[in-house]
């Protein structure tokens, strides 16, 4: 008996569907692309229950005859290409001929179509890859496709789908991308019988972005236009200093096709190297055009990735174009050459130190006796100002802003690590270097303390303890902060509102994809609320903050919050730095900050002698 056999077409189509149709949004993507390839000037998309129960795409394109409609449901049947050489000159979205048979093999698939030269239309019903009927029907010129009961023939695939809100968000995002790519086509999107958006033909890209992605994003963008032999770049890019925590709002089109291009993405990121802090990503809605023969779109089964024939030339062109535009924006705004320096984009405000060091149980050491270094104690509570009172209404809370007055010092011989019974050596303060590094002399050598890393460790352990106990002090905002999100981010926020509202926030829904931040934790400045919320959603989206492990989610939230809570002012007094070290050594892990970077380094006498070749 032969061990090798040819799979039936039905099984082969279901296997192919695993690559092409990974979620309901992929079905909508393939059907919308077919409608645009058919020359449609009007596309209507409707779905229910996140695409599980219904997805309908209707267009006014050229339509198909009965023979063409039947042939379109066969594998590798397409009208886009004839031979392999046509792949070098693709001007259409689709070309493989796999989408329709793959979709029909894992759903109940209804196709109605009519071309202009025919008096009647054709209706084809396929259920799980089996033809049910083929008959005449009445309909206008164009095509209507209904996909119901997705993955009914492969129920195991349904278990991997996310919630209806998440799947719906991916569908909305997909349709928005194609509405942006084709401004001359009117799009209508309907979810559960309600119109999500209706975008008529738009003469400008700015208007379409504002209409589809929101005015808050549109106002942060500026136009860009660059042309070189063989290449053209146009669209909208973010202003210097406006960034996001993830790359999800870095949207690129190649010859009108929305793609994920590593070359273009990293070129845009590199162009903002001097305009954004490290770890931030720019906003961009850019259209890159080149000779179709210079780009390969037949790389990914879902056609999401492309590969350029000359990656280096493309990268150089994009970087030059974006840098030139950023320099034009920065030159008139500031009369300095270093237009995009981080000092201009990251304001340095007053430092904020928790009221007292943290013990190994997470409680605050009494203000009456705070151990210090260099042979001193801190005696007596520091004078309290009105700015400090906001953080004193709950145990373990921090002041909202400002810094406590320097504390007086009295002799003390050593500082102890709560996790160790051995005393640490006495440190004598020497000075501050480069504004962020404190230098101390010790009996065994020199210690260089990173102020930011030390503050982050202190804040992290305090916030983690607050999150675990559920006693997170918050402050209501006099004026709520409005936030407009894209569909995916809005769905993720709705799924996690209970978690966030239990950790010092109070966020309410204020319309579709609109929210209001009513209250924030006391460690946060009101001006940082929107940016932190977007960063937090980016961390959820990237999987940095897990969904199903509350303890890990709290720890990651504390890690992100600690980085935001630190505000370093220029220069610090000796007493302030001694208090910081006392607080650092009262934590569980004083050697590193929450990200794993060292809080201080020590150069012993042997290392110093080696460096000076003694």
pLDDT score at 10: 64
The structure tokens listed for 479 are 């004026």
pLDDT score at 134: 94
Tens of pLDDT, residue by residue over 219-230, are 889 999 999 999
pLDDT score at 560: 85
Closest CA to 587 of 364, 353, 355: 364
The residue-averaged pLDDT of 511-517 equals 86
Q: pLDDT category, 275, cuts 50, 70, 90? A: confident
The structure tokens listed for 25 are 């949004």
Cα–Cα distance for residue pair 105/103, rounded to 1 Å: 5
In DSSP terms, 613 is beta-bridged to none
pLDDT score at 42: 93
CA triplet 110, 115, 116: central angle to 5 degrees? Answer: 150
Those residues whose C-beta lies under 8 Å from the C-beta of residue 414, and which sit 6 or more positions away, are 371, 423, 424, 425, 426
Distances (CA, A) of 274 to 201, 264, 337, 418: 37, 18, 12, 42
The structure tokens listed for 539 are 């961390």
The residue-averaged pLDDT of 76-103 equals 70
The structure tokens listed for 97 are 């001929």
610, pLDDT greater than 60: yes
Tally of CB atoms within 10 A around 484: 17
Q: How many CA atoms lie within 13 A of 34 on its CB side?
A: 28
Are residues 250 and 281 in contact, defined by beta-carbon separation less than 8 angstroms? yes
pLDDT score at 47: 95
Q: pLDDT category, 14, cuts 50, 70, 90? A: low
User: 3-state DSSP call for residue 507?
Assistant: strand
pLDDT score at 400: 33
The structure tokens listed for 356 are 């007292």
User: 3-state DSSP call for residue 360?
Assistant: coil
* Residue at token pair 């070359």: 263
pLDDT score at 99: 82
Are residues 555 and 325 in contact, defined by beta-carbon separation less than 8 angstroms? no
350, pLDDT greater than 50: no
272, pLDDT greater than 80: yes
Tens of pLDDT, residue by residue over 26-69, are 999 999 999 998 999 999 999 999 999 999 999 999 999 999 99
162, pLDDT greater than 60: yes
In this predicted model, which residue has the larger pLDDT, 112 or 81?
112
Strands, sheet with 428-433, edge to edge from the N-terminal-most edge strand = 428-433, 437-442, 445-450, 600-604
Strands, sheet with 130-137, edge to edge from the N-terminal-most edge strand = 130-137, 121-127, 108-114, 142-148, 54-59, 42-48, 186-191, 194-199
pLDDT score at 397: 35
Cα–Cα distance for residue pair 600/424, rounded to 1 Å: 14
Q: pLDDT category, 491, cuts 50, 70, 90? A: confident
Are residues 454 and 593 in contact, defined by beta-carbon separation less than 8 angstroms? yes
The structure tokens listed for 482 are 């409005």
In this predicted model, which residue has the larger pLDDT, 614 or 72?
72
Confidence (pTM)? 0.64
In DSSP terms, 236 is beta-bridged to 223, 285
Residue-wise burial string across 507-542, b where 16 or more C-beta atoms lie within 10 A, e elsewhere: beeeeebebbbbbbbbbbebebbbbbbbbbbbbbee
In this predicted model, which residue has the larger pLDDT, 199 or 145?
145
Those residues whose C-beta lies under 8 Å from the C-beta of residue 228, and which sit 6 or more positions away, are 317
Closest CA to 286 of 297, 273, 271, 307: 271
Distances (CA, A) of 540 to 25, 321, 347, 517, 526: 20, 33, 26, 18, 22
User: 3-state DSSP call for residue 282?
Assistant: strand
Tally of CB atoms within 10 A around 330: 20
Cα–Cα distance for residue pair 98/74, rounded to 1 Å: 8
347, pLDDT greater than 50: no
Q: How many CA atoms lie within 13 A of 303 on its CB side?
A: 22
Q: Which of 285-289, 299-303, 343-347 has the highest mean pLDDT?
A: 285-289
396, pLDDT greater than 50: no
Tens of pLDDT, residue by residue over 146-160, are 999 988 777 777 878
The structure tokens listed for 92 are 């259409």
Cα–Cα distance for residue pair 457/591, rounded to 1 Å: 9
339, pLDDT greater than 60: no
pLDDT score at 305: 82
Q: Which of 364-373, 399-408, 590-599 has the highest mean pLDDT?
A: 590-599
Q: pLDDT category, 608, cuts 50, 70, 90? A: confident
What percent of the chain stands above pLDDT 70? 77
Q: What are phi and psi of 163, to 5 degrees?
A: -65, 160
Residue/partner pairs of 495-502 with CB below 8 Å, 24 or more apart: 495/163, 495/165, 495/166, 496/540, 496/547, 499/550, 499/553, 500/536, 502/470, 502/472
**What domains appear along the chain, each with residue ranges and CATH number?**
9-199 (3.30.565.10), 207-345 (3.30.230.10), 369-464+568-611 (3.30.1540.20), 474-521+526-565 (3.30.1370.100)
User: 3-state DSSP call for residue 610?
Assistant: helix
Closest CA to 583 of 415, 431, 448: 415
The average confidence (pLDDT) of the chain is 78
Cα–Cα distance for residue pair 609/614, rounded to 1 Å: 5
Helix (H) or strand (E) holding 499: helix 497-501
pLDDT score at 2: 60
Are residues 416 and 370 in contact, defined by beta-carbon separation less than 8 angstroms? no
81, pLDDT greater than 80: no
Tens of pLDDT, residue by residue over 401-452, are 333 333 333 333 333 333 433 334 478 888 888 878 888 888 888 889 998 8
DSSP per position, 241-279: T-EESSSTTEEEEETTEEE--HHHHHHHHHHTTTTS-TT
Pairing of β 250-254 and β 284-290: parallel
Are residues 221 and 238 in contact, defined by beta-carbon separation less than 8 angstroms? yes
pLDDT score at 363: 41
Cα–Cα distance for residue pair 401/391, rounded to 1 Å: 9
Burial class (CB in 10 A: 0-12, 13-18, 19+), 392: middle
């Amino acid at each position: 008996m032969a061990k090798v056999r040819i799979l039936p077409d039905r099984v082969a189509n279901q296997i192919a569907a695993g690559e092409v149709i990974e979620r309901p949004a992929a079905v909508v993507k393939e059907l919308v692309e077919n409608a645009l390839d058919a020359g449609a000037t009007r596309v209507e998309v409707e779905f229910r229950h996140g695409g599980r129960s219904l997805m309908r795409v209707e267009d006014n394109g050229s339509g198909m005859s009965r023979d063409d409609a039947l042939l379109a449901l066969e594998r590798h049947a397409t009208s886009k290409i004839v031979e392999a050489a046509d792949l070098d000159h693709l001007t259409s979205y689709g070309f493989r001929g796999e989408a329709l048979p793959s979709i029909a093999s894992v759903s109940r698939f209804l196709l109605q179509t009519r071309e202009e030269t025919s008096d009647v239309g054709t209706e084809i019903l396929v259920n799980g890859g089996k033809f049910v009927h083929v008959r005449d029907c009445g309909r206008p010129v164009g095509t209507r496709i209904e996909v119901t009961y997705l993955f009914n023939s492969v129920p195991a695939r349904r278990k991997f789908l996310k919630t209806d809100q998440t799947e719906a968000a991916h569908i909305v995002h997909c349709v928005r991308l194609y509405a942006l790519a084709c401004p001359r086509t009117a799009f209508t999107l309907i979810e559960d019988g309600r119109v999500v958006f209706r975008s008529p033909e738009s003469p400008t890209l700015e208007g379409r972005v504002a209409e589809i992605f929101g005015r808050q994003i549109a106002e942060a963008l500026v136009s860009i236009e660059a042309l070189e032999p063989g290449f053209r770049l146009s669209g909208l890019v973010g202003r210097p200093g406006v960034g996001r925590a993830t790359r999800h709002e870095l949207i690129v089109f190649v010859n009108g096709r929305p793609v994920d291009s590593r070359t273009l993405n990293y070129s845009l990121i590199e162009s903002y190297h001097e305009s954004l802090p490290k770890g931030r990503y720019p906003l961009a809605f850019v259209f890159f055009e080149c000779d179709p023969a210079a780009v390969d779109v037949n790389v990914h089964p879902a056609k999401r990735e492309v590969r350029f024939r000359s990656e280096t030339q493309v990268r150089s062109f994009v970087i030059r174009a974006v840098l030139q535009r950023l320099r034009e924006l920065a030159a008139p705004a500031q009369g300095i050459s270093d237009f995009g320096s981080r000092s201009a984009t990251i304001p340095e405000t007053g430092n904020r130190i928790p009221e007292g060091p943290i013990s190994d149980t997470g409680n605050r050491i009494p203000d009456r006796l705070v151990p210090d270094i260099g042979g001193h104690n801190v005696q007596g509570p520091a004078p309290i100002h009105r700015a400090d009172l906001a953080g004193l209404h709950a145990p373990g809370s921090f002041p909202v802003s400002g810094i406590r007055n320097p504390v007086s010092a009295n002799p003390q011989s050593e500082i102890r690590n709560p996790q160790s019974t051995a005393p640490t050596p006495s440190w004598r303060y020497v000075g501050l270097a480069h504004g962020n590094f404190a230098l101390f002399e010790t009996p065994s050598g020199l210690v260089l303390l990173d102020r930011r890393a030390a503050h982050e460790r202190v804040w992290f352990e305090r916030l983690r303890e607050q999150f675990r106990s559920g006693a997170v002090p918050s402050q209501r905002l006099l004026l709520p902060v409005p936030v407009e999100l894209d569909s995916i981010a809005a769905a993720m926020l709705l799924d996690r509102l209970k978690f966030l509202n239990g950790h010092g926030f109070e966020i309410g829904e204020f319309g579709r994809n609109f929210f209001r931040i009513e209250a924030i934790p006391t460690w946060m400045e009101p001006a940082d609320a929107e940016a932190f919320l977007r960063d937090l959603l980016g961390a959820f989206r990237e999987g940095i903050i897990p969904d199903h492990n509350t303890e890990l989610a709290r720890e990651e939230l504390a890690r992100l919050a600690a980085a935001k809570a630190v505000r370093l002012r220029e220069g610090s007094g000796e007493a302030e730095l001694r208090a910081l070290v006392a607080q650092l050594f009262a934590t569980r892990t004083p050697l590193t900050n929450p990200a794993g970077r060292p809080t201080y380094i020590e150069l012993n006498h042997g290392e110093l002698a080696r460096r000076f070749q003694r």
